[in-house]
Amino acid sequence: MTAAPDRGASTLVGAEEFFADPAFSRASLSPDGARIAYLAPERGKLNLWVRRVDEGHEDAVCLTHDDRRGVEHHWWTDDPRWLLYLHATDGEEDWHLFRVDLDAPGAPAVDLTPLPPGQRVFAVDPTRPGAGSVLVWMNQRPASIDAVRVDVATGERTPHQSRPEPGGTVLLDGRGEPAFHAALTEDGTWEFSAIDPGGRRRLLWRVGGPEHPLGPPLQRVTPDGTGLLVGDYQDSDDLRLVRIDRRSGAETTVAAVAGRSLCTAGLAAPGARPPTVFTSRRTGAVIAARFTGDRPHIEVLDPHFAEVHAALSALSDGVLDEVSSDETEQRWVASFVHDREPGATWFYDHSTGESRLLFRAHPQLDPAQLAPMSAVRFPARDGLPLHAFLTLPVDGATGPLVLLVHGGPWSHDSWGYHPTVQFLANRGYAVLQVNVRGSTGCGKRYTTAAIGEFAGKVHDDLLDALDWAVAQGHADPSRVALVGDEDPYAGHAALVGAALSPDRFAAAVARGGLLDLAHFLRTSPPFTRPALAHSWFRYVGDPADPEQEADLLARSPITMLDRIRSPLLLVRSADEVESDTVVERLRARGVPVEQVSTDGSRGPEDRVRLHRAIERHLAEHLGGRRG
């Protein structure tokens, strides 16, 4: 188990150590249980390695040698001879699927998708449709993402399933056959239909509304094709895992936990973590689901996995992150979510009870020198119970506080390791991450409470969180910074906060890119309007309506810049013209403004440069430590 934190003054840890690529990550077990594939640095970038389960890293073979972007995603095929991985050109998103041959690990990787410029791979499913092949979704036709069957050994490509029309998606069963059709209508409603033999569609289920600002999550067909798994609230305030029957359309609850919602963080992008559901390698069925809470909760649905999960849980005081098994589901590799020891990865043999630590993702970090993260709750001024996470410096002394705003806006902070949080805590700052109203993961009423409240009660939630922290003795009210560097929305929220409450923040950090909500929505491509209906249009407004456009402008930082007085660090990319406006208008009034450029890669060098700038800015205006 993880060592307790050292409550003395913590040693200053370099930014390079907090933001380094993991030394080991994304481990997966071969189908025969004999080998482990994982990512580890080579030539300064993450590359794909393989070793036998009884070997160490010193015995491993590096299969790729990319020195520009590195490797992010990999898969075993049904034949343990082959490993697949995605690769894109440095700075681009032109993803191709490559194959490496473990019988000839020194041979060059083979591009299974030699696509011309403008075409790319969007998704890969190595479990379908049959032996020796994988399904790959790519845009070989203009404005259409189609499924193609790729023979792993020969690279032969065969069209498998074409997208029927814009806005429609065919969902496949475990055999790769069409089972359901999902379509987003013009008014933002999702329609799900069964696909009968012969291709006829039968409408089964319609869902939509502001409780699903990003659409109903998951949309996964059961392996036998008889049901569709989605996230839905049904008659509850909590998001549940629900099955829609293909024949009757009847809804049944697969997994629900009172007071917790199905965690959708892993659905943000292909390969995102942590996973929303765990599936059986042998059957493809869902065997467990992840739910939100003060700490993530794994709801187990399969008797065999219940035994495995109990054994795995005894290995760590964290929460299960990713798992991989062999085809017999006796040998397992598992990693864990943890606030101070992230990515610890274990091997476990259920048939013998043997277990051993394979690696720590960040061995350069001492868990005893890192700060625990605690879930806290307190009421907003209108009574809404707010959910937040507090990380105090290891020495526990009252001092400066950073109010850290998450991005999205339809996302949520959760318990676990956050390098920015640990970096700030190591510099002597208390860090408070509040899931303001509108965040996901806290229930339907919590999310929809943000309708019409951007730059209103959403901002009040930040102030109420700050007041709570001061009242609890966690912060010096004269030394508070508002930081939103995660994405343009987080930057938007930080600029709004600095403008609406200039006397509350001694400094601010904001990522540029979302200064004018009306312009942002007005210039969105026309085909995105259905997807905006129950998100931005419902929560903030539609610029096609003059009255709503005026309200959008009133809630935008671009109309509030003259009210900002806090020294600002602006995080920007080279092509953000809007950010020039912020710099010019604030400097014209004598407001200190610094800038730091980001290349958008979020690689170690980019993150270190950004956080060194944040460190300097906060030390100057709040008095924290500097490395």
Mean pLDDT of 127-147: 86
Indicate the pLDDT class of residue 453, thresholds 50, 70 and 90: very high
What tens digit of pLDDT does each residue of 279-310 get?
Answer: 999 999 999 999 999 999 999 999 999 999 99
Q: For position 217, what pLDDT does the model report?
A: 94
Query: Is 589 domain-assigned?
Result: yes
Helix axes 488-500, 457-471, angle to 10 degrees: 70
Average pLDDT of the chain to the nearest whole number: 93
Which range, of 42-51, 74-83, 149-158, 577-586, averages the lowest pLDDT? 577-586
pLDDT for 94 beyond 70: yes
Inter-residue contact 571 to 512 (CB < 8 Å): yes
pLDDT for 259 beyond 90: yes
Q: 541 — alpha (psi -120 to 50), left (phi > 0) or beta?
A: left
Indicate the pLDDT class of residue 143, thresholds 50, 70 and 90: confident
Residue type, 421: V
Q: For position 440, what pLDDT does the model report?
A: 97
Indicate the pLDDT class of residue 600, thresholds 50, 70 and 90: low
> Residue 584 and residue 358: Cα distance in Å, rounded?
52
pLDDT for 104 beyond 90: yes
Query: How many independent structural domains does the chain possess?
Result: 1
Query: Is 571 domain-assigned?
Result: yes
Which range, of 98-107, 204-213, 265-274, 415-424, averages the lowest pLDDT? 265-274
Helix (H) or strand (E) holding 378: strand 373-379
Q: Is residue 624 classed exposed, middle or buried when 0-12, 13-18 and 19+ CB atoms within 10 A define those classes?
A: buried
Percentage of the residues of the chain whose pLDDT score is greater than 70:
97
> Residue 138 and residue 288: Cα distance in Å, rounded?
30
> Residue 272 and residue 291: Cα distance in Å, rounded?
16
Mean pLDDT of 146-171: 90
Inter-residue contact 360 to 346 (CB < 8 Å): no
CATH number at residue 506: 3.40.50.1820
Mean pLDDT of 26-34: 97
Indicate the pLDDT class of residue 577, thresholds 50, 70 and 90: confident
Indicate the pLDDT class of residue 513, thresholds 50, 70 and 90: confident
* Helix locations, 533-603, DSSP H: 536-539, 546-554, 577-588
pLDDT for 57 beyond 80: yes
Query: Is 217 domain-assigned?
Result: no
Strand partners for 51: 36
Which range, of 19-23, 50-54, 598-602, averages the lowest pLDDT? 598-602
Q: For position 8, what pLDDT does the model report?
A: 60
Helix (H), strand (E), coil (C) string for 206-267:
EECCCCCCCCCCCCEECCCCCEEEEEECCCCCCCEEEEEECCCCCEEEEECECCECECCHHH
Mean pLDDT of 168-186: 93
Query: Is 190 domain-assigned?
Result: no
Residues whose CB is less than 8 angstroms from the CB of residue 398 and which lie 6 or more positions away in sequence, other chains included: 430, 473, 474, 475, 476
pLDDT for 90 beyond 80: no
pLDDT for 475 beyond 90: yes
Query: Is 185 domain-assigned?
Result: no
Q: For position 273, what pLDDT does the model report?
A: 80
Q: Which domain holds residue 606?
A: 371-515+556-622
Mean pLDDT of 586-603: 88
Inter-residue contact 74 to 85 (CB < 8 Å): yes
What pTM, to 2 d.p., does this model score? 0.94
Residue among 516, 596, 617 nearest 560 (CA): 516
Which range, 9-18, 389-398, 411-420, is most confident?
411-420
Helix (H), strand (E), coil (C) string for 75-96:
EECCCCCEEEEEECCCCCCCCE
Mean pLDDT of 504-522: 94
Indicate the pLDDT class of residue 89, thresholds 50, 70 and 90: confident
Mean pLDDT of 28-44: 96
Mean pLDDT of 158-173: 88
Query: Is 499 domain-assigned?
Result: yes
Q: For position 398, what pLDDT does the model report?
A: 86
Query: Is 440 domain-assigned?
Result: yes
Residues whose CB is less than 8 angstroms from the CB of residue 605 and which lie 6 or more positions away in sequence, other chains included: none
pLDDT for 69 beyond 90: no
Q: For position 599, what pLDDT does the model report?
A: 76
Indicate the pLDDT class of residue 4, thresholds 50, 70 and 90: low
Q: For position 430, what pLDDT does the model report?
A: 97
Query: Is 351 domain-assigned?
Result: no
